């Protein structure tokens, strides 16, 4: 039996454990100056010893990671850590822009990791402050496991390379990430439970399972990254997966979670083979499914699983070619997050802080995503070409902003399917009409945005107008619309609209 404590269990000793000064703002000032002092040393060492950019960045990464991981041991309130994170977000973004603090930012590849890191810490400090073990372990995983994965990947003589999103990874580096994360969670859980004098005992097999489960999720988050986004995703995924596993254990639902993990692995592997998801999309959907099932069970996973499976089938039935549409059914990381990100966030928030409208808002977001997707997929079968939703001119099928009567029917049908599933799994507690309205309005707004301010690009190779940032294996040139608002961004807004409509109507 191993000692363990949940983040919400009261500790027998008062926090924080170390309080250098009576005023926490004095502690904050000293802490802040000391971090910059260490960064200054790293800058000096980098300059004098002619260290490579990656080596100096890793040193700073470890130094800062250790420091912020100690925050729950020093500060009683999370106000100072949140302030610290906010300052570093601004400082790092500015330094990156003017090419300052090269010991922190100078790398062999473009990365925003130094900005993502404090953003992740700010979120953890804001929402996990009462769960100090979870917060500390998450930051230690980011500090040591992620660094070790990068080190192994860079120094392996024969790396087995792969790419789930934009950053190239190696199997050896991912193996190092998994093993080191598992070790940190295993040893850290035991150590900090003893350190905080906790009185909850965790069976050895459960502790090992928790460590491996968290290690798997963190490894997938690190592998599916782009320009340092793992500095954001790894600590958050670590914290959430760690809590989900242990809370499911205490609630007696762990066997169901593990069964879903195995079943969903088979589902998404098949989806990858059928080209409904690419590698990054598969990893993202797998972790997303674990989070949603782990926070809500069958009732929450059923609607979003139905959306994915039925939408993928419709896409395959359409047999669309690259000439008739600019959109791909082979969904990537961003496409998965654009449609499922908001529902996942609602599920996670409700898990930790339940609120009355959570489930119907969850359904509203999925309804909007389904309505928009089905409008396109079913509208493709229309014998008439779509018309632009704003100027009513004929456009080619698959063009954002193009609508058909059959597409409108598909939109209502898609929203209706989600509403009926929600009603069925809740025993009739969900009102179908509100979900229908949320889905249809979200889809309508999606079409308006897609036909107006969504970014459009031009391919320099073939000269075609496209919605993609890459075409003919080349970067495209921005033509019109807001450059930052692509089709994935519009889909993300669509799901937010679905949530807002539910909030307004109920």
> Over the stretch 319-377, which tens digit does the pLDDT of each residue have?
544 444 455 567 899 999 999 999 999 999 999 999 999 999 999 999 999 999 999 99
Section 490-505 average pLDDT: 96
Dihedral-angle region of residue 226 (phi above 0 means left; psi in -120 to 50 means alpha; beta otherwise): beta
Grade residue 440 by pLDDT with cuts at 50, 70 and 90: very high
**pLDDT for the residue 473:** 72
What are the structure tokens assigned to 350, written together? 């409700």
Q: 53 with 107: CB under 8 angstroms?
A: yes
The 3 state secondary structure assigned to 325-361 is CCCCCCECHHHHHHHHHHHHHHHHHHHHCCCCCHHHH
Section 9-16 average pLDDT: 47
Q: For residues 59 and 51, what is the distance between their CA atoms, to the nearest angstrom?
A: 11
**pLDDT tens digits for 235-287?**
999 999 999 999 999 999 999 999 999 999 999 999 999 999 999 999 999 99
**pLDDT for the residue 504:** 95
Section 442-446 average pLDDT: 95
How many Cα atoms are found within 13 Å in the side-chain-facing hemisphere of 197? 7
CA 143 to chain centre: 19
C-alpha distances out from residue 92 to 105, 139, 167, 226, Å: 8, 18, 21, 18
The mean predicted confidence, pLDDT, of the chain is 88
pLDDT > 70: percent of the chain: 89
Q: For residues 336 and 95, what is the distance between their CA atoms, to the nearest angstrom?
A: 32
**pLDDT tens digits for 17-67?**
678 788 999 999 999 998 888 877 777 777 777 666 667 678 888 989 999
**pLDDT for the residue 8:** 38
Asked if residue 125 has pLDDT above 80, the reply is yes
CA 104 to chain centre: 24
**pLDDT for the residue 340:** 97
C-alpha distances out from residue 483 to 96, 291, 432, Å: 21, 31, 37
Dihedral-angle region of residue 101 (phi above 0 means left; psi in -120 to 50 means alpha; beta otherwise): left
Beta bridge partners of 305: none
More confident residue, 198 or 160: 160
**pLDDT for the residue 107:** 52
* Closest C-alpha to 162, from 214, 216, 224, 219: 224
**pLDDT tens digits for 464-480?**
778 877 777 777 888 88
How many Cα atoms are found within 13 Å in the side-chain-facing hemisphere of 367? 37
Q: pTM to 2 decimals? A: 0.90
Of the given ranges (16-30, 136-150, 486-500), which has the lowest mean pLDDT? 16-30
What are the structure tokens assigned to 163, written together? 């790419």
Cis amide linkage into residue 58, ω under 30° from 0:
no
**pLDDT for the residue 399:** 80
* Closest C-alpha to 335, from 488, 173, 182, 174: 488
Asked if residue 1 has pLDDT above 60, the reply is no
Q: 364 with 343: CB under 8 angstroms?
A: no
Q: For residues 327 and 471, what is the distance between their CA atoms, to the nearest angstrom?
A: 12
Of the given ranges (259-268, 303-312, 451-460), which has the lowest mean pLDDT? 451-460
Section 89-100 average pLDDT: 78
Question: Around Cβ 115, how many Cβ atoms within 10 Å?
Answer: 21
**pLDDT tens digits for 200-211?**
678 899 999 999
CA 42 to chain centre: 31
**pLDDT for the residue 39:** 77
């Amino acid at each position: 039996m191993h000692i363990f404590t949940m983040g919400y269990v009261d500790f027998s000793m008062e926090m924080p454990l170390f309080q250098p000064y009576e005023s926490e703002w004095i502690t904050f000032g000293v802490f802040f100056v000391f971090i910059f002092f260490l960064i200054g040393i790293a800058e000096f060492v980098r300059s004098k010893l002619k260290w490579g950019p990656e080596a100096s960045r890793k040193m700073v990464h470890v130094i800062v990671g250790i420091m912020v991981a100690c925050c729950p041991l020093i500060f009683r309130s999370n106000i100072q850590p949140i302030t610290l994170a906010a300052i570093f977000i601004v400082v790092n973004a500015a330094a990156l822009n003017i090419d300052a603090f090269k010991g922190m930012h100078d790398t062999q590849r473009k990365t925003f990791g130094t900005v993502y890191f404090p953003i992740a810490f700010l979120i953890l400090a804001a929402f996990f402050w009462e769960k100090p073990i979870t917060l500390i372990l998450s930051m230690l995983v980011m500090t040591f496991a992620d660094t070790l994965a990068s080190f192994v990947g860079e120094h392996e003589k024969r790396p087995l390379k792969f790419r789930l999103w934009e950053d190239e990874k190696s199997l050896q580096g991912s193996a190092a990430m998994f093993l080191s994360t598992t070790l940190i969670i295993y040893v850290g859980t035991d150590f900090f439970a003893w350190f905080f004098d906790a009185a909850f005992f965790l069976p050895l097999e459960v502790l090992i399972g928790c460590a491996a489960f968290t290690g798997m999720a963190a490894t997938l988050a690190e592998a599916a990254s782009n320009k340092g986004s793992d500095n954001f995703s790894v600590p958050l995924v670590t914290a959430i997966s760690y809590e989900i596993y242990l809370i499911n254990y205490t609630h007696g639902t762990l066997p169901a979670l593990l069964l879903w993990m195995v079943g969903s692995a088979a589902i998404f592997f098949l989806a990858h083979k059928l080209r409904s998801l690419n590698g990054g999309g598969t990893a993202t959907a797998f972790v997303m499914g674990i989070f949603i099932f782990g926070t809500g069970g069958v009732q929450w996973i059923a609607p979003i699983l139905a959306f994915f499976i039925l939408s993928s089938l419709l896409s395959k039935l359409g047999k669309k070619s690259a000439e008739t549409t600019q959109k791909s059914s082979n969904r990537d990381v961003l496409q998965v997050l654009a449609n499922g990100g908001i529902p996942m966030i609602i599920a996670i928030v409700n898990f930790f802080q339940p609120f009355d409208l959570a489930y119907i808002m969850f359904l509203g977001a999925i309804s909007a995503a389904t309505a928009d997707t089905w409008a396109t997929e079913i509208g493709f079968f229309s014998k008439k070409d779509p018309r632009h939703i704003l100027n009513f001119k004929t456009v080619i099928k698959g063009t954002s902003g193009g609508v058909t009567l059959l597409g409108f029917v598909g939109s209502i049908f898609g929203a209706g399917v989600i509403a009926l599933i929600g009603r069925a799994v809740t025993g009739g507690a969900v009102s179908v009409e509100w979900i229908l309205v949320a889905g249809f309005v979200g889809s309508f707004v999606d079409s308006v945005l897609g036909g107006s301010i969504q970014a459009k690009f031009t391919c320099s190779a073939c000269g075609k107008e496209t919605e993609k940032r890459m075409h003919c294996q080349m970067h495209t040139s921005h033509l019109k619309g807001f450059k930052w608002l692509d089709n994935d961004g519009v889909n993300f807004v669509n799901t937010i609209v679905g949530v807002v409509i539910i909030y307004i109507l109920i």
